[in-house]
């Protein structure tokens, strides 16, 4: 996680790359021998970039697809608060680390470690860190979404998707992720919808109009989910949807 954060910082600090000669901390010695410390603009830029790391983790990784699918799944089962939002976020975050591990490793090998060893400048490390993330996002982005945002941004003549600027790839990637997440969520929703229809039909036939079908169907849906090893199926499907294990 620390190595990935350094890589994200390299991406977010691009606008401040020309300020790398500024000292991070200046020390002023007073006539009486005491010292005063002043924080410079570079530290301010660094702290500002740190605040964007959560947004980068959500919007530039597999996190969006995972959390949307899990939220739809919880709604399909009929459980409003279980698993809780904190558990869903934790599951999504750690599954994101699992899926993105090869990308993080590439960023660490190509950008973070050379930068820490002073083999690359910040600008060179930035360019090296962008490539794995860009390749990942392009592999998950639909051409239609990419073309839509490219036209909106005024990039009508692009020779290949690899030539698309980062500012276009990110919204196109997020749009494609939401589309894919809803498709996967729909596939998971169908079995539970069938259970609801069957239970409602049985209750109607028995004349039990006052009994809520949702309350009766809930234990059957939970039992069905457990019998088919639902969590393993969901996690495996999400991982394979990004090309893992294929």
177 closest CA partner among 53, 56, 54, 67: 67
User: Per DSSP, what are the bridge partners of residue 38?
Assistant: 26
Angstrom distance (rounded) from CA 164 to CA 197: 47
Per residue in 28-54, is it b (16+ CB within 10 Å) or e — as a string? eeeeeeeeeeeeeebeebeeebeeeee
Cα angle: 90, vertex 93, 97; to 5 degrees: 140
Angstrom distance (rounded) from CA 75 to CA 180: 18
Burial class of residue 88 (count of CB atoms within 10 Å of its CB; 0-12, 13-18, 19+): middle
Q: Is the pTM of this model over 0.85?
A: no
pLDDT in tens, the chain (246 residues): 545 554 555 554 444 444 444 455 565 666 666 555 455 555 666 677 777 777 777 888 889 999 999 999 998 888 878 888 899 998 998 998 898 888 888 888 888 788 778 777 767 777 888 888 888 888 888 888 888 888 888 877 777 777 778 888 888 999 999 999 999 999 989 988 888 888 888 888 887 777 777 888 888 888 888 888 888 888 888 888 887 654
Phi, psi of 172, rounded to the nearest 5 degrees: -65, -40
Domain positions in the chain: 1-242
């Amino acid at each position: 996680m620390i190595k990935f954060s350094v890589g994200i910082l390299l991406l977010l600090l691009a606008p401040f790359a020309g300020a790398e000669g500024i000292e991070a901390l200046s020390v002023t010695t007073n006539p009486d021998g005491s010292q005063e410390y002043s924080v410079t603009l570079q530290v301010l830029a660094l702290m500002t970039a740190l605040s964007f790391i959560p947004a980068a983790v959500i919007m530039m990784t597999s996190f969006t697809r995972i959390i949307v699918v899990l939220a739809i799944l919880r709604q399909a089962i009929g459980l409003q608060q279980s698993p809780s939002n904190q558990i869903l976020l934790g599951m999504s975050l750690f599954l994101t680390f699992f899926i993105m591990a090869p990308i993080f490793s590439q960023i660490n090998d190509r950008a973070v470690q050379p930068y820490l060893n002073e083999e690359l400048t910040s600008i060179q490390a930035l360019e090296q860190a962008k490539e794995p993330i860009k390749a990942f996002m392009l592999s998950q982005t639909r051409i239609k979404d990419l073309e839509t945002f490219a036209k909106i941004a005024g990039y009508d003549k692009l020779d290949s998707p690899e030539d698309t600027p980062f500012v276009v790839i990110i919204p196109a990637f997020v749009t494609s992720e939401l589309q894919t997440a809803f498709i996967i969520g729909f596939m998971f929703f169908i079995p539970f919808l069938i259970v609801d229809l069957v239970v409602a039909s049985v209750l109607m036939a028995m004349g039990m109009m006052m009994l809520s079908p949702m309350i009766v169907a809930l234990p059957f849906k939970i039992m069905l989910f457990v019998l088919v090893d639902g969590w393993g199926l969901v996690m495996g499907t999400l991982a394979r949807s990004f090309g893992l294990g294929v």
